[in-house]
Amino acid sequence: TTSAGLVLGVHAYLNPPTAARWQVAGSYDLDILGFDPAPLDRLTRFVREREGTPAHLRLLQLGAVASVMALEPAAWWQDLGPAAVVPGFFEQPIRIFRVPDPLPRAYVVDGVRVADGEQALRTLVDPSLDPRREIVLAEGEPRPPGTGPAGTARLSGQGWDAEEVDADLQRDA
């Protein structure tokens, strides 16, 4: 039936949150079930509002997004590298793109910028922010980044609701 075909297509397309069944991590997924906290929901909408701008690519990189999938042509494709085109259950094939230079999922910084709410979102896309050396926090004391690496980090364990990070710090971070 048409409904069964649509369900099959949506699952094969890895529409959120179905990708989790196959341990495929999502990024900036729309919260179709309404479970996300308000700040995360706002960040997701902020990313989508920036599609077709340089800020969109930056936000994908900040989110450690390595690849994205799409069905319909869109302006935000121009900044991404094509990786594959695969058939699916829709009229359009599924297009997979690589995000250039995504940040790692875990790393160490020691610079701090303080901003909350909408200002924090604007700070994330401010070209003067160096996300490899600075973080945006809702509260605390601002601190410029030190010279050289602040340390190293690696993911050492992952679960459905938590990740474990092993870090070696060169200084307070």
Predicted pLDDT of residue 4: 84
Q: What is the largest CA-CA distance in the chain?
A: 62
Predicted confidence (pLDDT) per residue in 57-79, tens digit: 999 999 999 999 888 888 888 89
Q: Which tokens in the block code for residue 132?
A: 């490899």
pTM above 0.85, yes or no: yes
Strand order in the sheet with 94-98: 67-70, 94-98, 81-86
CA triplet 34, 68, 125: central angle to 5 degrees?
75
Predicted pLDDT of residue 25: 79
Mean pLDDT of the chain: 90
Domain extents in the chain = 2-98, 111-169
Which residues in the chain come in under a pLDDT of 70?
Answer: 1, 13, 160, 173
Predicted pLDDT of residue 1: 67
Predicted pLDDT of residue 97: 95
